[in-house]
Amino acid sequence: MEEKSRIRFNPMTKEIEIEGSEAFVKTYFHKLQGLLSQSPEKNNEKPLQENTRPVRKAKKAQAKPGKQKAVKETQMDAIVSLVNRTEGGITTSALKEKTGLAERQIWSVVYRAEKQGRIKKTKRGLYVAA
């Protein structure tokens, strides 16, 4: 059976994950490291380490009792909190300005939040706290 190889890049965290055979990882590790070192913007991050190895399926980390994981605020949480904080409601255009999200993303999040009962739609494009 053929082994699949891939490279994943997370632009938010700037993490690079290389999966595949050892030859594939070594080849593309050096190419990516060269590309990153030529990057016009200066990174204050540590350079990639040479001891990268082929990645296997990761096991899910189980939370230890008594310890809380830091929870990231989701797009829905951000939009719902903005809606709840504004008196008289907020429009999708105002949400777009305050969150920096695309209009389509806002519509999608607002639709889901409305279906969950977290916000209400008073008229077209105007949302208030539920």
- Report whether pLDDT(45) > 90: no
**CATH code assigned to 75-129:** 1.10.10.10
φ, ψ of residue 9 to 5 degrees: the values are -125, 125
For 70-126, the pLDDT digits (tens) are 667 788 888 999 999 888 889 988 998 888 888 899 999 999 999 999 999 988 888
| CA separation for the pair 7, 24 (Å, rounded) | 10
Whether the Cβ atoms of residue 103 and residue 92 lie closer than 8 Å to each other: yes
For 106-118, the pLDDT digits (tens) are 999 999 999 999 9
Residue 25: name the closest of 8, 39, 11, 2 by CA.
Answer: 8
Beta bridge partners of 129: 119
- Report whether pLDDT(42) > 60: no
Segments making up each domain of the chain, as ranges: 1-56, 75-129
More confident residue, 128 or 14: 128
